[in-house]
Amino acid sequence: MKEKTDICIVTVKEDEFLEVKNLLGKTHGSNNQAQDQPWLFFSIKTIQENELKIALARIPDQGTKKSQSFTNRVISELKPSWVLFVGIAGGIASEDFSLGDVVVSKRICDLTLEVSKPDGERTYSLREESIHGTAKNFISILPAIITDQMKDWNKNIEKRPTINLEDGILDKKITTKNAVWKGKIKDSLMHNFGKKRAPKAIIGAIASSDRLVKDIKITESWITVAREILAVDMELTGALEAAGNVLPLIGIKGISDIVGYKRNEEWTIFACKSAAAFTYSLLCSGKLTMSQDDATDEPTQQEKKKHMPTPKIKIFIGIDLQFYFRLSAANGEPIFTSEGYTSKSGCKNGIDSVKKNAVKDEQYKRKKASNGEFYFNLVAVNGEVIGKSETYKTEQGREKGIEAVKSTAPDAPVEDAA
């Protein structure tokens, strides 16, 4: 019989993994690793003297698809009560927090869909992932938990690295030439490093995308559609797509860099330590599993099965205000996205066309992208493109994608999120 896992902590980078491992293994015993499994097991005691079984896992690669696939595996094999995504993220310049502080996800904003306009401008479509009811309830009381049971969470973290606030030196480390953003970054650093303090935790929205964000223009586009964004990562959207309403998931992210400010490895290491310290204190508070036990909206086993990832077609509105639909496979990963439609009825007609043409091999136009990767277009009888696939490293991967559409699209349920 498998031992119950109360909480699974998922990390990506080696430093993230090791910092959490060091804390879990510091004062409490069991550290048993099953062969061929990318996780370690620990047992810790809460302040109420209850024992928690913890699995600590690491995803070998970045990206939303990788995190979605890995989270699906965690849910299937470990069956935890909670999933915590712990690591680092880039921060948006703010006087409320800065380098080395921790952001806990209140909302997770999916900004993976990029729309290119004819003039070359890039804009993004916002999709907010549905968060489990237990996670929503827990986040609402987390400030009180931090104040009461977690007030010393940052006590044993080494001192924050320093930042030289002299004008000439500070200006050289700000990489953006945008005067407004440059001012925001300077104000943020002056406010947060004008006097010594320990790292703090703040609760807010985290944006997630496959794009590594270094360009202020991208950040500006994101903030246009999601003004409350505090931080940016590359995994949370995929993880939450997998978890959905099945079980609660939150992100705990140490701020390792500020968009528009020169990155320093010293802050990456410190941010890993602060995220790990917050997570360990949260586990020891015992409040996560208590919130799970006391939840009134916990799904039944039948409801969990209902919300497990299945093939589906989702209608959504893009940043250009057109209607799109996306076909996802049984594992929740996207297969292809439609062209834009000016009306929802046109979008629904496109879905009908997919369902009719999906089984016909002659309706798939196999293509090769300029970067050497492979993709396909599904076309209607009149030759118009209905949807374009994700790209694949190999032709065999593309063929598997086509077979996935043939087998899932005709009977896939339609979810209207527009």
pTM value?
0.68
Interval 281-311: pLDDT, tens: 999 999 987 655 444 344 444 444 444 457 8
265 with 407, same domain? Answer: no
Residue 208 has what pLDDT? 80
Whole-number mean pLDDT of the chain?
A: 82
With cut-offs at 50, 70 and 90, classify the pLDDT of residue 337.
confident
Q: What is the predicted pLDDT for the residue at 373?
A: 87
Whether residue 410 is found in the same domain as residue 285: no
Clarify whether residues 64 and 100 are in a common domain.
Answer: yes
> Does residue 154 sit in the same domain as residue 36?
yes
Q: Is residue 173 part of a domain?
A: yes
> Is 1 domain-assigned?
no
Whether 325 and 211 map to the same domain: the answer is: no
Indicate if 217 and 337 belong to the same structural domain: no
Q: Among 7-21, 266-280, 332-346, 375-389, where is mean pLDDT lowest?
A: 332-346
Question: 280 pLDDT band (50/70/90 cuts)?
Answer: very high
Which range, of 139-143, 184-188, 243-247, 287-291, averages the lowest pLDDT? Answer: 287-291
pLDDT at 225: 44
What the block records as the tokens of 187 is 């104000």
- Confidence category of residue 214, pLDDT binned at 50, 70, 90: low
Whether residue 116 lies inside any domain: the answer is yes
Is there a domain that residue 409 lies in?
yes
Q: What is the pLDDT of residue 8?
A: 95
* C-alpha to C-alpha distance for 196 and 159, rounded to whole angstroms: 9
Q: Which two tokens stand for residue 21?
A: 């491992």
CATH for 388:
2.30.29.80
Give yes or no: residues 290 and 340 share one domain: no
Mean pLDDT of 355-382: 90
pLDDT at 178: 76
Q: CB atoms < 10 A from the CB of 25, how many? A: 15
Q: Quick one: average pLDDT of 379-405?
A: 89
Same structural domain for residues 167 and 258?
Answer: yes
Q: From the CB of residue 147, how many other CB atoms can be counted at a distance below 10 Å? A: 9
Q: Which of 263, 294, 325 is the last residue of a domain?
A: 294
CB 257 within 8 A of CB 212: no
The residue among 245, 263, 294 that closes a domain is 294
Same domain, 130 and 156: yes
Q: Of the spans 1-15, 226-240, 263-277, which averages the highest pLDDT?
A: 263-277
pLDDT tier, 104 (very low <50, low <70, confident <90, very high otherwise)? very high
Mean pLDDT along residues 240-266: 88
In-domain check, residue 12: yes
Number of structural domains the chain divides into = 2
pLDDT at 331: 61
Residue 134's nearest CA partner among 366, 305, 351, 296 is 296
3-state SS of 351-385 is HHHHHHHCCCHHHEEEEECCCCCEEEEEECCCCCE
**What confidence tier does 210 reach under pLDDT thresholds 50, 70, 90?**
low
User: Among 294, 321, 341, where does a domain finish?
Assistant: 294
Cβ-proximal residues to 298 (8 Å cutoff; 6+ apart), any chain: 133, 134, 292
* Adjacent-strand bridge partners of 364: 378
Bridge pairing between strands 414-416 and 312-317: parallel
**pLDDT for residue 330:** 66
Range of the domain at 261: 7-294
Residues 6+ apart with CB under 8 A from 398: 366, 374, 375, 376, 389, 392
The runs of H, that is alpha helices, within 194-336 are: 216-225, 236-243, 265-285, 287-294, 301-307
**CATH number, position 96:** 3.40.50.1580
Give the model's pLDDT for residue 143: 93
Whether 124 and 38 map to the same domain: the answer is yes
**Same-domain status, 269 and 351:** no
Q: Can you tell me whether residue 253 is helix, strand or coil?
A: strand
Any domain includes 77: yes
Most confident of 4-13, 165-174, 315-324: 4-13
305 lies in some domain: no
In a domain, 300, yes or no: no
Say if residue 355 is in the same domain as residue 401: yes
Of 216 and 359, the structure prediction assigns the larger pLDDT to: 359
Name the percent of the chain lying above pLDDT 90: 37
